[in-house]
Amino acid sequence: MTYPAVTVHPADPVADAAWTAARSRLKRLPVTDYRGRLVGVVTRADLLQTLVRDDTAIREEIETRILEEKYLPDPQAIEVTVDQGVVTVTGKVDVALAPRLLESIRAMEDVDKVVDHLTGIT
């Protein structure tokens, strides 16, 4: 352990806790309440896992939040694949809609790149 103890609070953002653990080179980080009492311990792996989403979660968010709710009455018209944060979009979509759709996907967290294989229809 270090002195004084390096701790985080339950209300701290996960990114801040991950940064604290990395900066302090700690594998485990005590979580304390406002009185300094131990309420738990979080590991570096736990912190990193919450910060990085897997490809399946990214694809599901694109299909539900972007395609179904915002842009397409028929989300099956577009196929979305995700591989290590690279999103490939294939299918037919209204020409006027395509740029906004692609920009919405690019703006998502954990999306590194968008490959556009859309065919425009009028």
The SS3 of residue 67 is: helix
pTM: 0.60
pLDDT tens digit at each of 122 positions of the chain: 667 889 999 999 988 998 898 888 999 999 999 999 999 999 988 888 777 788 999 999 999 888 887 877 676 788 999 998 899 999 998 888 889 999 999 999 889 899 999 998 76
Residue type for position 20: T
Q: Which residues of 100-120 are buried (b: 16+ CB within 10 A; e: fewer)?
A: ebbebbeebeebeebeeebee
